[in-house]
Amino acid sequence: MSGVNEWRSMSSAPRDGTFVELECTYGVAPWYCLARWTDEIVLAGKTTFKSHQFSWQKPWPDNGGPFDEHSLRWRSYNGIVSSYIDPTGGQQNDAVYWRKAVARKYGLPEDHFEKYIKSDVDNEHRPSFWLRIKAAIAKATGAQS
């Protein structure tokens, strides 16, 4: 029996302007947002205009929304839209969440990339943080960087 709060296929998502919680599973870690299927776009939190097509739109101030449903799932949301807290408790908005996810994906300790953060601040002449991450991943997986 399917639970009421389980993630569902986008083919069953409501297309009536109701806000739902979306989970995007593309990439190294999931991320979450509220969005609704609408042809209304809100600018600067006050100006609303009609678009020529419907799309998933996040509430202001985020606006925009995911364009491709292939990596999305949805579930109902009955809370106050402006009080939404994603399932990560907001961690998805911090780079640490993503660095930990990359480390997990490649079988490295979750704090593996944290040691590079301070050195980036202290020494601007070293290779960039992301070049060092790429090299560390290549080393961990035996791939060429």
pLDDT per residue as tens digits for the range 59-89: 877 767 777 788 999 999 999 999 999 999 9
Cβ partners under 8 Å of residue 45, min gap 6: 60, 61
**114-135 pLDDT per residue, tens:** 877 765 554 555 556 667 777 7
**3-27 pLDDT per residue, tens:** 567 999 999 999 999 999 999 999 8
Q: Tell if the pTM clears 0.95, that is, is over it.
A: no
- CA atoms of 116 and 96, how far apart (whole Å): 12
pLDDT of residue 140: 78
- Which run of H or E residues covers position 37? strand 31-43
Query: Residue 35 pLDDT more than 50?
Result: yes
Closest CA to 114 of 133, 131, 127: 133
Place of tokens 């799932």: 73
Q: Which two tokens stand for residue 21?
A: 């919680």
Place of tokens 């739902």: 20
Query: Residue 104 pLDDT more than 80?
Result: yes
Closest CA to 84 of 4, 22, 16, 14: 22
Cβ partners under 8 Å of residue 83, min gap 6: none
Q: Which two tokens stand for residue 79?
A: 């809370």
pLDDT of residue 21: 97
Torsion, CA 37, CA 87, CA 90, CA 95, rounded to 10? -100
pLDDT of residue 118: 63
